[in-house]
A and B are shown apart, each in its own frame.
Chain A
Amino acid sequence: MSEDPKRTDTPESPDEMSRRNFFIKMGVGSVAVAALGTTVFGYQYLSPNVLYEPSPIVDAGKPDHYPPDSVTLDPQTAIYVVRTAEGFFALSAICTHLGCLTAYKPELGIIACPCHGSKFNKDGVKIEGPAPRPLPWLRMWLSEDGNLMVDRSNAIAIKQLVRV
């Protein structure tokens, strides 16, 4: 290598990069790319693509199982089926504060959370407590065989009753 006077490791002009500098930049650059790739890979690996969780769509059974003017909690699915004189609606039973399961208190006519004392009325409207939002109304419809169906993943902004 020393035979050829033109092949040197030091740059000939100040704009030129030395060989050592070039390899350092290549090395640091490839480590940075690998680190970024590992981060993306790690994030993707840790996010499950398939969830073996219960379906968000719940079959709440026949409407006439629910007595008139009643609030019925199903603790397994964490929804209230509320029957009023005008019709049915479904309310999420999960407190909007920190996710505890609320309970309906028939003697007071309110929904109360055991964890931090939030209170809601039968429409899900907040009465008091740390909860930041009302309990969401969930999309409810009648299936073809006349069962009440609730989609827990679908909160509805406009309150609509299901009339049977």
Chain B
Amino acid sequence: MANTLDQLVEQVRENRIWRSIFRSGTGASNLHRALFVQQNVFLHLFSVKARKRTVGFSATWYLGALTFGTFLILVITGILLMLYYHPSVPQAYADMKDLQFVVSSGVFLRNLHRWSAHAMVFLVFAHMFKVFYRGAYRPPREFNWVIGVVLLLVTLLLSYTGYLLPWDQLAYWAVTVGSNIASAVPVMGSKIRFLMLGGTAVNANALLRFYVLHCVILPFTATLLVAIHFWRIRKDGGIYAGEPATKGKSE
């Protein structure tokens, strides 16, 4: 059985159509494996080779990968939630309630989105602490740390803009307070608040602006920065493996 299954897989991989998509071809040699990574548009951001100790659990606790995982869940569930949600004052709250009580699996998708958002904020912080305490932010990785800090900011802004969208009391007052904090900026504070809300109060314009920020501008920014963040891991010499082991300690 195992043999026939392997043979089947091998047949598919040598098929003309398969080979037209995945050009690296079959084979277990290091060259083939390297080509597989290098010729894939998504994987080519990463190194074709990695030290064994950097792919183990202890090096990273997989915190960055888990953060990216929550981000993917958020993108997928977010797009699905957009199909039922109207960013307008009369409908936003009712749509959110419909997702909870009327739409099939709506409550599941909404809660998945919500809990993943909480998890992502937690994981971003955990990832940063791990990088910080291991010293992985040091040269030559200092610029990737800077990108990471911007990504933290984008994550928090995504969290904040998403918070308004249910348009309930909690959201409304949280954004009232948040936008008033923004207006504490010297000189141009009230102007910033005006641009942020598209008016002088948390109202229809603010809901629409937060929706566009949450669903378009910030996710695009995050995606772009994440791509650079991943690509720079390769450019900066791979995942930080710690100081080389000394005194014959095996790695």
Interface residues on A, range: 10 to 19
Counting chain A CB atoms within 10 Å of each CB, the highest count among B180, B181, B200 belongs to B180
Cβ < 8 Å to B, chain A residues 96-138? 97-101, 115
Q: Which residues of B contact A115 (CB under 8 A)?
A: 173, 177
Binding site secondary structure of chain B:
helix
Q: Is B199 among interface residues, defined by CB-CB distance under 8 A?
A: yes
Instruction: Decide yes or no whether B100 CB sits under 8 A from chain A.
Output: no
In the bound assembly, the distance between CA atoms of A115 and B173 in angstroms comes to 9
The answer for the CA separation of A122 and B195 in the assembled complex, in Å, is: 34
Q: Tell me the minimal C-beta distance from B176 to chain A in angstroms.
A: 5
Minimum CB distance partner of A46 in chain B: B195
Give every chain A residue within 8 A of B181 (Cβ-Cβ).
Answer: 98
A48 B176 Cβ-Cβ under 8 A: no
Binary contact track B104-115/A, C-beta < 8 Å → 1, others 0: 000000000000
Q: Which residues of B contact A48 (CB under 8 A)?
A: 198-199, 205
Distance, CA A98 to CA B201, complexed state (A): 12
Please report the C-alpha to C-alpha distance between residue A51 and residue B194 in the assembled complex, in whole angstroms. Answer: 11
Q: How far is the CA of A43 from the CA of B179 in the complex (A)?
A: 18
| A contact residues around B203 at 8 Å (CB) | 53
8 Å CB contacts to B: which residues of A31-58?
43, 46-48, 51-53
B180 proximity list for chain A (CB < 8 A) = 97-99
User: Which chain A residue has the least Cβ–Cβ distance from B199?
Assistant: A51
List B168-203 residues whose CB lies under 8 Å from chain A: 173, 176-177, 179-181, 194-195, 198-201, 203
Cβ of B72 under 8 Å from chain A:
no
Q: Do A53 and B200 touch (CB < 8 A)?
A: yes
Whether the Cβ atoms of B173 and A47 lie closer than 8 Å is: no
Number of interface residues of B (CB under 8 A): 15
User: A46-B195, A48-B198 in contact; A98/B176 too (CB < 8 A)?
Assistant: yes
In the complex, B204 has a CB within 8 A of chain A: yes
Bound-state CA distance A53–B200 (Å) is 8
Q: Verify A99–B177 contact, CB threshold 8 A.
A: yes
CA distance A46 to B200 in the complex (A): 13
> B173 — nearest CB in chain A belongs to which residue?
A100
> Residues of A contacting B200 with CB < 8 Å?
51, 53
Instruction: Give chain B nearest CB distance to A140 CB in angstroms.
Output: 21
Q: How far is the CA of A43 from the CA of B204 in the complex (A)?
A: 20
Interface residues of A in 49-70 (CB under 8 A from B): 51-53
- In the complex formed, the residue of A with least CB distance to B198 is A48
| Chain B residues packing against A (C-beta within 8 Å) | 173, 176-177, 179-181, 194-195, 198-201, 203-205
Given contact pairs A47-B194, A98-B181, a sample of 20 additional A-B residue pairs in the complex whose CB atoms are under 8 Å apart: A46-B195, A46-B198, A47-B195, A48-B198, A51-B199, A51-B200, A52-B204, A53-B199, A53-B200, A53-B203, A97-B180, A98-B176, A98-B177, A98-B180, A99-B176, A99-B180, A100-B173, A100-B176, A100-B177, A115-B173
